[in-house]
Amino acid sequence: GEQVEQLPSSLIVQEGASVLINCSYTDSASVYFPWYKQEPGKRLQFIIDIRSNMERKQNQRLTLLFDKKTKHLSLHITATQPGDSAIYFCSASIGNMGYKLTFGTGTSLLVDP
């Protein structure tokens, strides 16, 4: 089945810095890739997604890049704020409707003020 790897497992940055989170998947049938943010004690929150027919998507300070050939995604967060501190999850789905997600192991981001 699909496997999703995510690196790094943790990051500590100063407020204002940019961060890059990398994700790779194995199943070429995966076509939809949503990302989630998990703050302590809170539910997973959808933050951005991309489909396999796209190469780039931006949502405010988030930019998601997708390389279908290498089966690789990268999430770039600019101008980080303490409120960005959370665990970020990459996920993949073979369906276009986001069901049956396979998740990466998560990246714990800590932004120091």
Partner 1 sequence: EAAVTQSPRSKVAVTGGKVTLSCHQTNNHDYMYWYRQDTGHGLRLIHYSYVADSTEKGDIPDGYKASRPSQENFSLILELASLSQTAVYFCASSDTRTGDTEVFFGKGTRLTVV
Residues that bind partner 1 (CB under 8 A): 1, 4, 6, 32, 34, 36, 41-46, 49, 89, 91, 95-106
* Distance from C-alpha of 57 to C-alpha of 62, rounded to nearest angstrom: 8
Residue among 18 and 100 whose Cβ is closer to partner 1: 100
**At its nearest, how many Å lie between partner 1 and the CB of residue 103?**
3
Q: How far is CA 73 from the centre of its chain?
A: 8
Residue among 58 and 78 whose Cβ is closer to partner 1: 58
Residues 6+ apart with CB under 8 A from 110: 10, 11, 12, 13, 85
**At its nearest, how many Å lie between partner 1 and the CB of residue 52?**
13
**At its nearest, how many Å lie between partner 1 and the CB of residue 15?**
27
Structural contact between residues 91 and 4, judged by C-beta atoms closer than 8 angstroms: yes
